[in-house]
Amino acid sequence: VLFMERIIQLKKDGLDTYNAIIQARKERLRPILMTTLTIVASLIPVALGLTEGSEMRQPLAIAVIGGLMTALPLSLFVIPIFYMIIDRVKIFRT
């Protein structure tokens, strides 16, 4: 959400879509990676069943890790690409 908000803000400041995406990625890449990797690292013992009573929490930890690892490339690459495509379609229609 913050990544896309930053792209929109940079576009309002006068950057074109491509440069806004690149600039926002430079600014937001480290916080996104650090947050995701911290959560994944903290869930690995639960997902591996290394903690006491983790039998009930193990499937949830695996699902959360899978979701985060899927959302990471989607939010950094796929969604900005679709945003750029939609923006170009808007330009061609006007």
Of 64, 63, 46, the closest CA to residue 55 belongs to 46
- Alpha carbon separation from 71 to 28, 77, 79, 82 (Å, rounded): 15, 10, 10, 15
Asked if 39 and 64 count as a contact pair (C-beta separation under 8 A), the reply is: yes
- Predicted TM-score of the model (pTM): 0.79
Q: What does the pLDDT look like over 6-53, one tens digit per residue? A: 999 999 999 999 999 999 999 999 999 999 999 999 999 999 998 788
Tell me the mean pLDDT in the region 52-63. 90
